[in-house]
Amino acid sequence: MPSAKTKTARQTAPGALPADASRLLELIIGEIESPTDTQKLIDQIPPTDDCHEETLRFLKAKDRTQRRADFVKNEALWWRKYGWFMARIVGLFGLLVFAFAMSVRGAGVDFITFALLGAAGYYLLLMTLSNIRYREKNKKRRKLLAGEAHNYQRAIVAIAASILKRFQVDPAHYPIAKPRSGAGLVQREDGSYYIPVDDSVI
């Protein structure tokens, strides 16, 4: 007895996509144009008999890219929020102690005061030097995020190409008007981008 997958394949005319494959391809094109949140994407994934493998590859690529991007962003957030918060507290407290010691006549500057002033000076120097390094790391983070986005797009373009090739569908039926980048795509004379079905192009 033929399987459900075989029945679907027989009912699909040559050069046309089954409904589930068409929906999956639309989601991939949507990601190429404007990536969305992973959970929102999962909620839109259609039940599929024809593209189970491609669906898994798509979700794995999305999950991997999202986790890497979140790691890079969270690292920057930690330094910007928690790290600088602690440095500012110590620095400002030391400056207040110094101002109090100078304002009170005859107040002796003891060891604890010197220690606080030293800590404040250290953190102020750390903040100054770290700001320079932070700007450099931000440039690297932007490059990492851009590189990850390009790799992700190439991966999902390859998935879309495998769907089109398997069902022998002309890529011209699925033009991409405004992709986020041209990574992995082919631009034709009309200005639109298309998914290449030739592996050598990808």
pTM of the predicted model as reported, rounded to 2 decimal places = 0.70
Domain assignment present for residue 85? The answer is: yes
Question: 127-141, pLDDT tens digit by residue?
Answer: 676 666 667 777 788
Domain assignment present for residue 8? The answer is: no
Q: What is the pLDDT of residue 84?
A: 61
Question: 166-187, pLDDT tens digit by residue?
Answer: 999 999 999 998 899 999 999 9
Domain assignment present for residue 31? The answer is: yes
| C-alpha dist (Å) from residue 66 to 95, 97, 103, 134 | 42, 46, 54, 23
Partners of residue 109 on adjacent β-strands = none
Domain assignment present for residue 169? The answer is: yes
Residues contacting 142, CB < 8 A, separation 6+ = none
The count of domains in the chain is: 1
The larger pLDDT score, comparing residue 192 to residue 108, is at: 192
Q: What is the dihedral of CA 85, 87, 92, 93, to 10 degrees?
A: 100
Burial class (CB in 10 A: 0-12, 13-18, 19+), 125: exposed
Interatomic CA distance for residues 155 and 83, integer angstroms: 36
User: Which domain does 127 fall in, by range?
Assistant: 15-194
What angle in degrees, to the nearest 10, is found between the helix axes of 111-166 and 19-33?
140
Question: 57-114, pLDDT tens digit by residue?
Answer: 999 999 999 998 888 777 766 666 655 666 666 666 666 766 766 666 555 556 666 6
For the segment 159-164, the average pLDDT, to the nearest whole number, is 96
Interatomic CA distance for residues 126 and 91, integer angstroms: 10
Domain assignment present for residue 3? The answer is: no
Distance of CA 182 to the CA centre of its chain: 17
